[in-house]
A and B are shown apart, each in its own frame.
Chain A
Amino acid sequence: MSMDVDAASASASQPGKPTMSGTPTLEARGLVKAFGHVVGLANVSLKLYPGEVLAIIGDNGAGKSTLIKCLSGALTPDQGEILLDGVKVAFKSPTDARMAGIETVFQTLAVAPALDIASNLYLGREIRSKGPVGRFFRKLDTRGMRESAKKQLSDLGIGTVQDITQKVETLSGGQRQAVAVARAAAFGSKVVILDEPTAALGVRESGQVLALIKRLRDRGMPVILISHNMPQVFEVADRIHIQRLGRCAGVITPQSHTMEEAVAIMTGATTLEAGTGDGTSPGAADGSDRTT
């Protein structure tokens, strides 16, 4: 698991105040994506710094999903570039993005219900036993995978799951979400993208997932969170990227704006004036973020 130690300790000492200087872990510059005559993304830029939770909000059709799909390799943008740790990358498939360290938890959880938790955590990247048994008979290191799966879950504070050999279909919705998030977090990823992780969950289960997001952030892992739920966004996000009609309508923080103001910007009732708050104006959001 490779993570920026400085960023991790900085954010751990000051939760909610990520270091917004230096190279962003993930950066998008001027992304454009059109579907025929429909403009999905019109020149959208975004910066994600180590150890921060960046929420993306917006109405239906605002371009949230298109933006996320471009970042996770499910779509290829028509124009613009994506930089990972300052290096330009081009993803042709979700597998490319995953190999580069961007893990996405899709709204429809990519878990196999009939397999157990450990098998699901390692699905698609199983570890073979060491020595000839693994090499010639391709035997899996089942015990090793179970042990490290258990450790990963407890590191993330998922204490409600006691039995790592339990089939995923016997878990509650929140526990399943936790398994999917844990899998995303476990594989040395640079970025975790969560698409509506609490949409199908109850209050208590949502709380568990939000706590999980905070713990990921405190470990220095930057998280992109797509959500419709304003109270939740304002609870966990360090910055909030507002999408409107395929454009970025502004980047605010929970401190600089209220929920009502965020919704007003999102729906177009008001526009974000230049220089307000902690975020950036719509013009500045395209390229430069706060540089203090």
Chain B
Amino acid sequence: MVRESETLGARIQHGLHRHPAIGPASVLVASVIAFSIANPRFLNSTNLSLLVQQVAVLATLAIGQTMIILTAGIDLSVGAAAILAQMVIAQTAANNHVPGVLAILLGVAVGALTGFINGFLVTRIKLPPFIVTLGTLSIYTAIGLRYSNGQSVYASAMPKVLIWTGNYVNIGPYQLTTGVILMLVLFAVTSYALTRTAWGRHVYATGDDREAARLSGIKTDRVLLSVYLVAGVLFGLAAWILIGRVGVASTNNLTNANLDSITAVVIGGTSLFGGRGAVLGTLFGALIVQVFQSGISLAGVQSLYQVLAEGILVIVAVALDQWIRKVRR
């Protein structure tokens, strides 16, 4: 569709329309360059390693958030679901002496259940996802607090497998964790499922135009329910990565997870209107959020500017999405 008369702007618009991950990838590269000029220590292998370790939990949560936003939904209960799963994993292992692996499976199952409940309310009771997850945000938070009695569980009381995700993996000068590797594997698997399978096509079609998808013979309710369920499983796995990363299971963890995960998805180029975007963009989006946090503190700037920058990025990203969507004639 490249016409000869196209201006440079139109050409950029078309390019971004075809490859939505280009936007966040260039922002990531530009911000890394900018922060390394501000403080050369930013490019230090220790700093970069820490940055990637820190991003693992947010990035895993953001995968689930991406899939839900692709269906034109939104999940405000991300953090609450992960905290609940985290407390189930830690408590059952430390207090009820459930074997570690089984405790993790229990936590993931609880994550899946939270997703299933959200999906059930969205597809069967036909409530808007925003309202459903606003409600379950409070409900899952309350259940998590009630279940744990507000008590934290420390790594010393946990079986080794619970903090396995915090183990270091050295690659050259860089120090990653098994949690980071797990996060990358989850990105690869979900990216494959979304782009190479019929289920993935149906997720995009359902988010794009639900009625059209239904008329094409897609069982849209089943697709939506499966998306919420898979997202719940991912939140359960994120809880495991979180325990390994922080070394303590506490209801005070992940206070900003809901908004941060949405921020990562939006900066990553996935449209809040559904049907457009990719998990690869979300990986860039999550990294951008982390790069800003790390870079701004290393540059010796007050941390409030990090919050400010994040807000500006979100608005720019959504404005860019609106502009790209105008390609539809």
Contacts and interface: CB of A to CB of B under 8 A. Distances in A.
Interface of A: 94-95, 98, 106, 108-115, 119, 123-126, 128, 137-140, 142, 163, 166-167, 169-172
A138 B197 contact: yes
B198 A128 contact: yes
Interface string B96-125: 000000000000000000000000000000
B116 to A, nearest CB: 22
B17 interface: yes
A95 B208 contact: no
Contacts of B197: 137-140
A167 B328 CA distance: 9
Contact of A169 (B196, B213, B328): B328
B218 A123 contact: yes
**Which of A94, A108, A110, A114 has the most chain B CB within a 10 Å cutoff?**
A114
Nearest to A105: B215
A289 B253 CA distance: 77
B209 A170 contact: no
B211 A108 contact: yes
Interface residues of B, number: 26
B173 interface: no
A126 B1 contact: no
B204 interface: yes
A289 to B, nearest CB: 31
A95 B199 CA distance: 18
Contacts of A119: 201
A140 B196 contact: yes
Contacts of A125: 217
A126 B198 contact: yes
Nearest to A128: B198
30 contacts: A98-B217, A106-B215, A110-B211, A110-B215, A111-B209, A111-B216, A112-B205, A112-B208, A112-B216, A114-B208, A114-B275, A114-B276, A115-B208, A123-B213, A124-B202, A124-B213, A124-B217, A126-B198, A126-B201, A137-B192, A138-B197, A138-B198, A139-B197, A140-B196, A142-B196, A163-B1, A167-B18, A169-B328, A169-B329, A170-B1
Interface of B: 1, 17-18, 192, 196-199, 201-202, 204-205, 208-209, 211-213, 215-218, 275-276, 327-329
B327 to A, nearest CB: 6
Given A111-B212, A112-B212, A138-B199, A123 B205 contact: yes
B208 A110 contact: no
Contact of B216 (A110, A139, A140, A170): A110
B1 A166 contact: yes
Contacts of A137: 192, 196-197
Given A140-B197, A172-B329, A112 B204 contact: yes
Given A94-B215, A124-B217, A112 B329 contact: no
Contacts of B201: 115, 119, 123, 126, 140
A167 B217 contact: no
A224 to B, nearest CB: 17
Nearest to B209: A112
A292 B218 CA distance: 44
Nearest to A109: B212
A140 B193 CA distance: 10
Q: Which 5 A-B pairs have the closest CB atoms?
A: A110-B215, A124-B217, A169-B328, A126-B198, A112-B205
A113 B212 CA distance: 10
Nearest to A98: B217
B237 to A, nearest CB: 20
A124 B216 contact: yes
B186 to A, nearest CB: 16
A163 B18 CA distance: 13
A95 B215 CA distance: 8
A139 B196 CA distance: 6
Contacts of B204: 112, 114-115
A98 B218 CA distance: 13
A128 B18 CA distance: 24
Given A123-B205, A166-B1, A112 B213 contact: yes
B67 to A, nearest CB: 15
B327 A169 contact: yes
A215 to B, nearest CB: 23
Contact of A170 (B196, B212, B213, B327): B327
Q: Give the one of B197, B208, B212, B276 with max A CB within 10 A.
A: B212
Scoring A106, A109, A140, A142 by chain B CB atoms within 10 A of each residue's CB, the highest score goes to A140
Nearest to B1: A170
Contacts of A115: 201, 204-205, 208
